[in-house]
A and B are shown apart, each in its own frame.
Chain A
Amino acid sequence: MSSGGPRTKRNMPGLLRASLNPWLVRVPDHPERLAFVLHRVTGVIIILYLLAHIVVTGTPAWRGWAAWDSLMTQFNNIWNQIGEFIVAGSVLFHGMNGIRLLLTEFFGLCLGEPEPPKPPYIPPTYRACQRKLLYAVFALWPILWFVAGLLIFGVW
């Protein structure tokens, strides 16, 4: 017992691994976990954007409108457009998936009805329409993000 006797070891993956790795627990046919990771990542991006947005839109109040015009000129570059593109994608996914989560979590809809287990032993939640909604989110997201990209980069 040279090192103070037996002790248990903490075995928690932690915030970053649990939040960023959808394959931390390997389960086949499980898009909800991927949606969870994407929802969390996009949520962080939106929060960071909103903080920056508040600071930027507050500029005229403490530095005057001249500073605002100068800032807007500086923002008119490709890197800012890429940033806007990422924010637009985040908002689109977070918003659409958020509607699915509101329906399931607050109103208990799209969850299926509890039932005694029977073959093929798939939990009712994953046979319910919330999964169809999730597939719809995954299908619509790239399309809407592409349209947003066309608007942001001035192609359209």
Chain B
Amino acid sequence: MVGIDPKAATKTPPKVVTIRVRRYNPVSGREWWQEYKVETHRGMTVLDALLKIKEEIDHTLVMRYSCRMGVCGSCGMVINGTPRLACQTQIAEVADEANPVITVEPLYNFPVIRDLLTDFTSFFEKHRKVMPYLIRNDREEQEDPKGQYLMSREDYEYLEEFTLCISCGLCYAACPVAAIDPDYLGPQALGYLFRYVIDTRDEAWEMRLKIADDEHGCHRCHYAGTCSMVCPKVVDPAQAIQRLRSILFKYKLGLYRKKKISGISPPPKEWKPRKPLPPEAKPVSSEVDYKKLEEEPVVIEVEDRRITLRHKIYE
């Protein structure tokens, strides 16, 4: 799998790498490749190198990033021909002394706004189209729930991997069908759709199947499977789409029925009243000795899951 290489942290990157960035100026319409030489350090990521370029060499370089730890999914870009998260890709993983050149391009299949910055508007429209949230027939109960929707451990484990998607767009950039059909829902949206179709708490599965049953839906997939290979969170959208197609195949023949719809947990038989809260602490004197406050340690008392911070100057 691309994106997680536990040995990368133990490798030493080349002292200086050449970062080749595919740039684009939206005003003049000019496209060009630009090279930067960057001194590296151990553990340096491609995002670190790009930020170093932006800080020290070229302030005009544009990219999107946020968390720097592979959680937000903002810094997806094509690194040495592979869609990857720049913050998760170490220099040592993609370059060595023999070949110290790293090419960085904006994600394929997304409109480029500038340099490495891509437009996700259409991508998120497709995400919204599959209604990625629970829908129950009893809408009043859903708005004002009386209990929790029950779900067995096995049912959760079956769909857990599909819940890990961070919508980074790498799968969409790797997809050969998205490279041809701009209206194709894409592996990310179809993965989400499948995740809710098989969710035992969801009751809108027929509506979701109708969304997938479209010329730009799951039938457009050709099972090249690159989406699953580039996913940084080991979500398996290729499998999700194939399973969605087999569900649709059975559904069209009238053979598919959702196995079960989860119930709602009953209210507990006996409510255990919580211990009454401690009376509000009041200072001995209205004048707080702040110097004493800084010197003396803080006492923490834990009472029935409620934590109160008190200082010795309080009673």
A residues in contact (CB < 8 Å) with B: 1-3, 5-15, 17-19, 23-28, 30, 32-33, 35-36, 39-40, 101, 104-108, 111-117, 120-126
Q: Give min CB distance, A119 to chain B, whole Å.
A: 8
Judge whether A33 and B82 touch: CB under 8 Å.
no
Judge whether B223 and A101 touch: CB under 8 Å.
yes
Judge whether A116 and B225 touch: CB under 8 Å.
no
Judge whether A25 and B82 touch: CB under 8 Å.
yes
Number of A-B contacts (CB under 8 A): 159
Find chain A residues with CB under 8 A from B235 CB: 123
Q: Give min CB distance, A114 to chain B, whole Å.
A: 5
Q: Per-residue 0/1 for B236-263: is the Cβ within 8 Å of any A Cβ (1 yes, 0 no)?
A: 1011101101110100000000000000
Stretch at the interface among B66-74, B159-167, B201-209, B266-274: B159-167
Q: Give min CB distance, B117 to chain A, whole Å.
A: 10
Judge whether A30 and B182 touch: CB under 8 Å.
no
- The number of chain B residues with a CB under 8 A from chain A is 62
Please give me the residue from chain A that is nearest to B107 by CB atom.
A11
Cβ 8 A contact of A25, one of B24, B27, B81, B106:
B81
Stretch at the interface among B10-18, B53-61, B137-145, B226-234: B226-234
Cβ 8 A contact of B179, one of A2, A18, A33, A113:
A18
Complex: how many Å from CA A26 to CA B226? 9
Judge whether B233 and A126 touch: CB under 8 Å.
no
Judge whether B108 and A32 touch: CB under 8 Å.
no
Find chain A residues with CB under 8 A from B302 CB: none
Query: Which 5 A-B residue pairings sit nearest by Cβ, starting from the closest?
Result: A108-B246, A36-B224, A26-B81, A8-B111, A6-B26
Complex: how many Å from CA A15 to CA B222? 14
Judge whether B27 and A30 touch: CB under 8 Å.
no
Given A7-B29, A14-B179, A106-B249, decide whether A117 and B164 contact each other with a Cβ distance below 8 A.
Answer: yes
Complex: how many Å from CA A125 to CA B171? 15
Find chain B residues with CB under 8 A from A124 CB: 236, 239
Judge whether B242 and A117 touch: CB under 8 Å.
no
Q: Per-residue 0/1 for B77-97: is the Cβ within 8 Å of any A Cβ (1 yes, 0 no)?
A: 010111100000000000000
Complex: how many Å from CA A65 to CA B28? 65
Provide a sorted-by-A list of 19 A–B residue pairs whose CB atoms are within 8 angstroms: A6-B26, A8-B112, A9-B26, A11-B107, A11-B118, A17-B179, A18-B177, A27-B82, A36-B222, A108-B242, A108-B246, A111-B243, A113-B158, A114-B159, A114-B236, A117-B161, A123-B229, A123-B231, A126-B225
Given A3-B29, A17-B179, decide whether A114 and B110 contact each other with a Cβ distance below 8 A.
Answer: no
